[in-house]
Structure 1
């Protein structure tokens, strides 16, 4: 007679999935189809990707206040720009035709101004034309035309106006024999980035899902078992996209949020699916009668129900703990002021919950439906490592236990060495640089910066509430003499405000510009004053992140300590886990700096270094990397603590726990590395950075930390691993989550 399943809530949920698998699967099918339809615009007519934007991360502060004042008193509309190369300036008839075509642009409804050297009284030879000529001279045979639109145009009206303007710009190029032209704008740049997000997302999934299936086929030895985690991963992606579509109506979503959140959901769903399917096969073998021929035995309905119940009660509990730890780590992003961080935090927590829910409901139902195919002989299970107490991981643990101090010393030296580049980290907020150098809009803006420097926006803008005369006097006296400043241009905004444009002979995010920003903020006019610009906004962003970081760390550390204590009943193991995670994350950030800031492996990873790391990446790596590290920590500790509570001595619990979870941890790490590597193979620099950083974090954690440091430290600590003060032990006995 088959043993009755345990009576916990998770066990009852698993039993329900085993009894009514079709109901669960059909419910998920409806949700997945609806989620994809919603995200890709089949329901509302507007897709998630239509609602994305791109730009430097912003926080409330001085720079943002200045931007708000400028937008209110000096609004600017959209613009389209045409870069012409190879223009025949000595061909008078051609230039006349091009001039006429350019002049017609002003008659398009919604156009407020057309700026072109062709329209000046003296043509391209006019002294005022220099700013619009490539390199400032006619010898370059290149010029720029800028078409400005009314800032009050609605999005639909702007779209209607852009069509004839694009046609008119094409006519300008067509009038010039041998010339070529490129059209660009900030809106086109944002569209290029968001479009690349969608392409990278599909390409990443196209790489990750098939390769994950192949790996799981070899892990499980069958198509059915290998396909189940992939199905759960697809469901998780659908839930992630639907959640992001909902969040896009409540907050601005940066284009990178989609890939970051999706790759997390994809990786976690595959990890959890691997653990659950493996445990189901193990439980399915255990519930069958001892005297049956496992090679020919067809599981009965009751055996399947018991197996799914036990699977959710054991592996499901591990997944629940893991999901909570990952969600806690990501929820720390909600503490920050930056909208991008808050969006990733909210959406990330949502996708973790979707992945956990899928593992607790969809996967057990799929296992129940495929139980006959999943049933295997004891020999096959032994080859896969299911439930085996001897093997390579047990041998590794015993070798570590012979010289734990040496293992700890050697591993720590390696981790510290990998972490050293962190101390030279520089941060930036790229715009066009996020795209590959061959992307048309990247080429356009690189050319614009190089050939038309006089049109570059000021590196720093000072907004002050004073008279134009006082602002001009202050600018001449205080700003103009600063190192690197080439010119200052005050202008009246209205409403009592004056804007002072400060041009610096350095890129917008360079340290020289940072010095100017700090100098101006330290010596302001005797009136309300705000300093803005790319570097000023980045400085405000980093200051805000650093200011909020202690609260985020406190939340994550406290919640993680409590959760791991509830699982293990120890105060030592949670503290040790936190320390080991800090070391592995430091090493991952060090590799990130070495690769992307210093430019190593640029050919292998296919990127061009900008000499810095994207400003939001370290915070995302810390949050996501911490969550994934705790994910594998929970996988391992769940087995070890289960054995220890059953009476197995500490050292043997470590050996058996590593043996029974080592294959799962290694396979899960390999699969999630495939997922992250698939996205790192995309074109956006920021996605490459987070993909490579998280692959590094997972590899370090699944090898050096889980396989070496954890068994070594737990061996040295011995029974102290499980120590807790008497009051906490009593509290854990009453409230601990051990069933």
Structure 2
């Protein structure tokens, strides 16, 4: 298969390049339309009680979503301001699609006790189509912003999703402007020439185009979260550079053994292409765990990110060989080095870990476990506007309300739907759970009771209130919805499906690693060491963003919990990325073992030949992830820090110390498999490789 791809790319390189140019135009043209289709409805889980109740309200409630305006910075009793506000209220009431706008001067709780701020809530009519709702929201927001006051902010409801989408687009642009020049500079250092350094960026741009196009395609059939843009773009950019780096390093090696560029390309695809293929498959398989969850958000993220990984993999084994065929003749071969000089530092590290294998295990494993300890106290929440940078309008609105109004103002209520047939005693017990319970009748005989929790929208008080309603109702036809109830259902969904997701991913990874190595012990060792690095990275994220240690240094703050989006994405993506470096190293170890038959020396040689490329790849990925952490959006900061730490810990501590220590400890047993499985491997294992070079001195 890889040979066929290489022959196609080298036989008609211009055709392959032209097809990819068309793909890029499509991605950056049609694909960028996804920015206008993003959703902030992350915690929705189809089939749960909170979702069924929300859908029932969508069908029967005559009122729809709402947006909120806040006016601050001038005395609300000022006659001039009052006149402006009253005119604005009247104008907004006349907008088609607006159901109600209370007068803040006559409605209790809408003017601050200090007299320096007021709230303007706007409720939309129910059943509006997307265009009508968008028109009503934009018109109402524009009219409120015309109020002449030092600070006027409007957000919430469907407007919040639009603002987050615009912020996501801005963050992606800024991250690309930061990361691409830095990545190019690092690649210049690695390759010493602009031509070779530029090729990984071409593949990276293909990955970004693939991210946009995949997300746009999925947005036609399902909701796409605002988080998806940054996550898929950062992964598409990072993996593309990783794969291109691995291929280019191997190409420069092969050029040292043959002057025929096409032959060098074929050998490169046969050897490094195999590693890229398995690496892409392992990352994609790691993301299949997200498909086990019924959450639309998690499923769409898993599909979109897997699609981006496939695009990167295909670009590396088709577009890059075509580019090398056309321009590779001017790329300098890797410099020949005396025997023992190439990869000397990594060989020393490998020999040290091999000699002191028990000491390495006794030191590194406990250290990683200590870093992972905070995971035992991890909490997840939907989060509120405090997750946003202070420069965003939604955050400014939140801060204004928090500064001028009592705690709990503006917090979404726990919404209880009392269907026809609910007895009066049950209804009374539910109303008694909140001193500010508000009830209203719906067409068809149902009653909606809104219970106002204290504290945050998804804090312990709110979630406990949602649980308490479900306990109090007994067998009555009562359903609970709202952000707190959705969080309770989301947590329950994670707890129920996480074991199945783990089994799916681990089984898939085991099969792929077995196909790659022919061993049953190496996949087990790889999974265990990867879980250590993953736990350590996630533990640091909890310590920083949940507990608040050093969060300020990242432009964030301790929130008491992680965003519910962060842990599943960190685990799924980081697990796949860790396989990249494992495969880079195992490929070289396998080659050395096949060439020499010496298990112990193969460990050292494998790390000698792969250490530099693994280190460079990890550094480049860290740069990409770090650039996406400049946006200040807390969930992306959490995901970015988690992936950066996972990559760096895995590429250094785990792959440079634990891998040689454990491989040496296992010895020849590391490559063992029962006879029936060895026969299976001969059938399914990909063994397509370049022939060994005439000289053994290769370089990375």
Q: For this structure pair, what is the TM-score category when the shorter chain's length is used for normalisation?
A: over 0.9
Relative to 1, partners in 2 of residues 1:225 and 1:528: Cα closer, same or farther, differing over 3 Å?
Answer: same
Matches of 2:341 and 2:355 in 1, distance apart?
22
SS across alignment from 2:631: coil
Q: Distance in 1 between matches of 2:178 and 2:83?
A: 53
Corresponding position of 2:27: 35
1:330–1:349 CA contact under 8 A, matched in 2? yes
Cα–Cα, structure 1 residues 494 and 369, in superposed 2: closer, same or farther, change >3 Å?
same
CA distance in 2, matches of 1:253, 1:76: 25
Q: Which residue of 2 aligns with 1:20?
A: 12
Q: Which of 240, 254, 267 is residue 225 of structure 2 equivalent to?
A: 254
Write the distance in 2 (CA, Å) between the matches of 1:733 and 1:282: 28
1:326–1:352 contact (8 Å) kept in structure 2: yes
Which of residues 385, 407, 416 in structure 2 aligns to 1:462? 416
1:143 aligns to what? 118
Aligned counterpart, 1:531: 480
Equivalent residues in 2 for 1:567-586 (5 A)?
567-586=516-535
2:54 to 67, 86, 100: 67
Query: Which of 56-65 and 267-276 deviates more?
Result: 56-65
Q: CA, structure 1 residues 641+160, in 2 after alignment: closer, same or farther (shift >3 Å)?
A: closer
Residue pair 2:429, 2:472 contacting (<8 A) in 1 also: no
User: After alignment, is 487-496 or 622-631 more displaced?
Assistant: 487-496
Residue from 419, 429, 434 that aligns with 1:477:
429
Provide the residue aligned with 1:53 in structure 2.
39
The CA distance in 1 between the partners of 2:139 and 2:294, in whole Å, is 41
How far residue 65 of structure 1 moved from its aligned partner, in angstroms, is: 1.1
Q: Is the 8 A contact 1:427 1:612 kept in 2?
A: yes
- Residues 653-695 of structure 1 show CA distances to partners (whole Å, capped at 9, x for unaligned) of 0000000011110000001111111111112211111000000
Q: Give the unaligned 5+ runs of structure 1.
A: 1-8, 41-46, 121-128, 289-302
Shift of 1:318: 0.6
Is 1:228 paired with 2:194?
Answer: no
Once residues 556 and 220 of structure 1 are traced to their aligned partners in structure 2, the CA distance between those partners, rounded to angstroms, is: 36
The CA deviation string for residues 365-395 of structure 1, in whole angstroms up to 9 with x for no partner, is 112222232133x6x3439x9x965511111
Residues 408 and 94 of structure 1, relative CA distance in 2, 3 Å threshold: closer
The more displaced of 225-234 and 485-494 is 485-494
Q: How does 1:75-90 map to 2 (within 5 A)?
A: 75-88=62-75
Q: 1:204 to 1:524 in 2, by over 3 A?
A: same
Secondary structure of the residue aligned to 1:117 is coil
1:565 to 495, 514, 522: 514
What is the alpha-carbon distance in structure 2 between the residues aligned to residue 334 and residue 626 of structure 1?
A: 15
The 1-side partners of 2:141 and 2:483 are apart by: 29
CA contact (8 A) 1:243 1:347 kept: yes
The whole-number CA distance in structure 2 between the counterparts of 1:255 and 1:558 is 31
Q: 1:352 aligns with which of 285, 306, 309?
A: 309
> Is the alpha carbon distance of 1:612 and 1:247 closer, same or farther for their aligned partners in structure 2, counting shifts above 3 Å?
same
Deviation at 1:591, TM superposition (A): 0.6
For 1:567-595, what per-residue CA distance to the aligned partner results, in whole angstroms no more than 9, with x for missing partners? 11111101110111111111011011011
Once residues 431 and 224 of structure 1 are traced to their aligned partners in structure 2, the CA distance between those partners, rounded to angstroms, is 46
Cα distance change, pair 230–712 in 1 and its aligned pair in 2 (3 A)? same
For the aligned residues, what is the CA RMSD?
2.3
- Tell me the distance in 2 between the aligned counterparts of 1:161 and 1:274: 50
| Pair 1:450–1:239, CA change in 2 (3 A) | same
* Cα displacement (A) at 1:242: 0.7
1:134 and 2:126 aligned: no
TM-score by length of 2: 0.93
Deviation of 1:489 after TM superposition, in Å, equals 2.8
Residue 329 of structure 1 is matched in structure 2 by 286
Asked if 1:209 corresponds to 2:180, the answer is yes
Contact kept in structure 1, 2:265 and 2:325, CA below 8 Å: yes
Q: Are residues 1:382 and 2:368 paired? A: no
**SS in structure 2 opposite 1:714?**
helix
**2:291, 2:298 within 8 Å by CA — same for their partners in 1?**
yes
CA distance in 1, matches of 2:488, 2:67: 30
Structure-2 change in CA distance of 1:505 and 1:431 (3 Å) = closer
Specify which of 237, 240, 255 is matched with residue 208 of structure 2. Answer: 237
- Cα deviation for residue 517 of structure 1 reads 2.4
2:377 to 424, 437, 444: 424
TM-score, length basis structure 1: 0.88
Asked if the contact 1:18/1:368 (under 8 Å) is kept, the reply is yes
2:452 matched to which residue of 1? 503
Q: How does 1:627-666 map to 2 (within 5 A)?
A: 627-666=576-615
Q: How many equivalent residue pairs?
A: 686
1:517 is matched with 466
CA distance in 2, matches of 1:250, 1:732: 39
Q: Is the 8 A contact 1:240 1:347 kept in 2?
A: yes
Tell me the residue number matched to 2:694.
none
Q: 1:406 aligns with which of 323, 334, 359?
A: 359
Q: Please name the residue that 2:691 is paired with.
A: none
- Give the match for residue 300 of structure 1: none
Cα shift readout 1:370-429 (whole Å, capped 9, x = no counterpart): 2232133x6x3439x9x9655111111111111110011100011011001111111111
Aligned to 2:400: 447
Deviations 1:50-72 (A, max 9, x none): 11111342112011111112222
2:490 maps to which residue? 541
Deviates more, 1:585-594 or 1:608-617: 608-617
Residues 130/652 of structure 1: CA separation in 2 closer, same or farther (3 Å cut): same
Q: Does 1:115 align with 2:102?
A: yes
2:328: which partner in 1?
371
What is the deviation of 1:196? 0.8
State how far apart, in whole Å, the 2-side matches of 1:639 and 1:394 are: 13
Cα gap change, 1:97/1:53 in structure 2, threshold over 3 Å: closer, same or farther?
Answer: closer
Once the two structures are superposed, residues 89-133 of structure 1 have per-residue CA deviations (whole angstroms, 9 ceiling, x without a partner) of 655576456535543443444443331134x4xxxxxxxx33221
The residue that corresponds to 1:126 in the other structure is none
Cα distance change, pair 116–246 in 1 and its aligned pair in 2 (3 A):
same
| Cross-structure match for 1:297 | none
Instruction: State how far apart, in whole Å, the 1-side matches of 2:98 and 2:43 are.
Output: 30
Q: What does 1:140-219 correspond to in 2, within 5 Å? A: 140-161=115-136, 165-166=140-141, 168-169=143-144, 173-174=147-148, 180-219=151-190
Equivalent residues of 1:88, 1:95 under 8 A apart: no
Residues 284 and 479 from structure 1, CA distance in 2 versus in 1: closer, same or farther, beyond 3 angstroms?
same
1:314 to 271, 280, 292: 271
> Offset of 1:488 from its aligned partner?
2.5
Q: Give 1:596 shift.
A: 0.8
Secondary structure of 1:140's counterpart equals coil
- Assess if the C-alpha contact under 8 Å between 1:188 and 1:441 holds in 2: no
Q: Work out which of the residue numbers 556, 561, 584 in structure 2 matches 1:612.
A: 561
Shift of 1:170: 5.1
Change (3 A) 1:625 1:331: same
Gaps of 5+ in 2: 689-700
For 2:185 and 2:312, locate their aligned partners in 1 and report how far apart those are by CA, in whole Å.
21
